[in-house]
Amino acid sequence: MDFSLSVEEREVRDWVRTFVQRELVPLEQEVLRRERAGRPGLTRDELTELQLKAKRSGFWGVQTPEEYGGMGLSAVLTALLEVELGRSFVPFQFGGSADNILFHANAEQRERYLLPTIAGERRSCFAITEPGAGSDAKAIRTTARKDGADWVINGEKTFITGGNEADFAMVFAITDPEKGADGGVTCFLVDRDMGWRSEYIDTMGEWGPASLIFEDVRVPERQILGELGQGFALAMQWIGRGRYLLPARAIGACERLLGMAIEHANTRETFGAPIASRQAIQWMIADCGVEIEALRWLVLHAAWQVDSGMDSRHAQSVAKLYGGVKANEIVDRVLQIHGGMGYTRELPIERWYRELRLLRIYEGTDEIQRRTIARNLLKGHVKVGGGLG
């Protein structure tokens, strides 16, 4: 069993680490200033400029297949990349990507939606969550009624990432109430200029999701993505596309935070000695170090399963659950080590504190992950002690 990184993996990791240090970290104070004034941390033009800088070095479409102009990186490499991006809270992601279900587009849809999205010319959002249908995705109430050659969509979606910026949405609606989720839900590609609107949702963090309102929005038959009635299967593909990447980014944040805690512990003195000499501080540092390493291997194990063509859903749920819980414990310890200064806005710890809290909620709450893990164990889908097989 070889845990070492390949030459390619080290090169990719080191390049992204350098990019983060040179291009993103210097922007942090300005990003904080803007966010605290109620403005986006990066404008769309600034994000595009950063993405194009990365593109000039070949970093474009990280997981996009090479035939579409992307890098086609493995799951393990992508996880390593996300760890490095997590070292800064500047809201950056590499360009050239499209939601995985957009690759189900037909020839006409590829030209209108998939290729422009990969090129960075269009922006999409995934719209399934509703006020009464969060973790229980099968409980959606948005409807699409057939009217001649068109479908008429009515309903509301909520907590939609990118919904305020998107110019088209992948909207999941009930097309056959009698069949329910299995055969009765369809995905539609709906341009904003077809009539839907978005409303900003203010949150405790800097994530600015949207509510999407559909009132008699008329879309032609050609806007169906995939097949009529098979939308729920597409939704599950999207939801399970890379859950391991969320805790991967948290690893980078936790490593940066732990570095801050170590530096502070070695320089801050109380009663004539650095607080690093206090056992209470030492134990917090030790626990953070152990948990970061444990999370790293949970994430990489899940990514390895993806690359190996295995069913990685259980491993991804384990990594997502552990990562969400432990990242929140780690940032809390780091704040505690910094004392009153950690609670101020002079340091970015409170910024990470708010951001990492979301990890326990979105793309599957802690409770949903525990339900999945327990069900797999109780029903024998996963054998105790068989995690490496």
Across 56-64, average pLDDT: 94
Q: Is residue 116 part of a domain?
A: no
Residue 287 belongs to domain with CATH number: 1.20.140.10
Which DSSP helix (H) or strand (E) runs through 198? strand 197-200
Residue 136: per-residue pLDDT: 67
Q: Is the pLDDT of residue 389 over 60?
A: no
Residue 22: per-residue pLDDT: 97
- Which positions are annotated as active-site residues? 363
Residue 388: per-residue pLDDT: 54
Which DSSP helix (H) or strand (E) runs through 190? strand 185-191
Q: What is the pLDDT of residues 13-42, one digit of tens each?
A: 999 999 999 999 999 999 999 998 888 899
Are the C-beta atoms of residues 147 and 176 closer than 8 Å to each other?
no
| pTM for the whole structure | 0.91
Does 311 share its domain with 234? no
**The pair of three-digit structure tokens given for residue 192, joined into one six-digit string:** 């904003």
Residue 79: per-residue pLDDT: 96
Does 158 share its domain with 192? yes
Does 137 share its domain with 213? yes
Count helices and strands (H / E) in the chain.
14, 10
Q: Is residue 82 part of a domain?
A: yes
Q: Please tell me the least confidently modeled range out of 104-108, 315-319, 373-377, 382-386.
A: 382-386
Domain hosting residue 210, numbered range: 103-110+122-238
Does 245 share its domain with 374? yes
Q: Is residue 117 part of a domain?
A: no
CA 212 from chain center: how many Å? 20
Residue 38: per-residue pLDDT: 85
pLDDT band at 45 (very low <50, low <70, confident <90, very high): very high
Nearest by Cα to 5 from 257, 303, 365: 303
Residue type for position 296: R
Q: Is the pLDDT of residue 206 over 80?
A: no
Residue 19 belongs to domain with CATH number: 1.10.540.10
pLDDT band at 329 (very low <50, low <70, confident <90, very high): very high
What DSSP designation does 96 have? S
Q: Return mean pLDDT, the chain.
A: 93
Residue 32: per-residue pLDDT: 93
Residue 3: per-residue pLDDT: 86
Q: Please tell me the least confidently modeled range out of 153-162, 227-236, 280-289.
A: 227-236
Task: Point out the domain boundary residue: 209, 238, 267.
Answer: 238
pLDDT band at 138 (very low <50, low <70, confident <90, very high): confident
Residue 118: per-residue pLDDT: 95
Does 255 share its domain with 370? yes
Task: Point out the domain boundary residue: 238, 265, 285.
Answer: 238
42 φ, ψ (degrees, to nearest 5): -130, 140
**Do β-strands 210-220 and 185-191 pair in parallel, antiparallel, or remain unpaired?**
unpaired
Q: What is the pLDDT of residues 227-246, one digit of tens each?
A: 998 998 888 887 767 889 99
Residue 386: per-residue pLDDT: 72
Residue 268: per-residue pLDDT: 96
Does 161 share its domain with 91? no
Q: Is residue 177 part of a domain?
A: yes
Q: Is residue 296 part of a domain?
A: yes
Task: Point out the domain boundary residue: 181, 216, 238.
Answer: 238
Does 133 share its domain with 183? yes
186 φ, ψ (degrees, to nearest 5): -130, 145
Q: Is residue 2 part of a domain?
A: no
Q: How far is Cα 63 from Cα 249, in angstroms, rounded to an integer?
A: 16
Does 338 share its domain with 353? yes
Are the C-beta atoms of residues 118 and 96 closer than 8 Å to each other?
yes
Across 49-64, average pLDDT: 95
Does 95 share its domain with 200? no
Q: Please tell me the least confidently modeled range out of 99-103, 178-182, 215-219.
A: 178-182
Q: Is residue 1 part of a domain?
A: no
Does 249 share its domain with 207? no
Please give the tally of structural domains in the chain.
Answer: 3
**Do β-strands 124-127 and 168-174 pair in parallel, antiparallel, or remain unpaired?**
parallel
Does 229 share its domain with 250? no
Residue 145 belongs to domain with CATH number: 2.40.110.10
Q: Is residue 386 part of a domain?
A: no
Residue 134: per-residue pLDDT: 63
How many other CB atoms are found less than 10 A from the CB of residue 168? 22
Does 285 share its domain with 260? yes
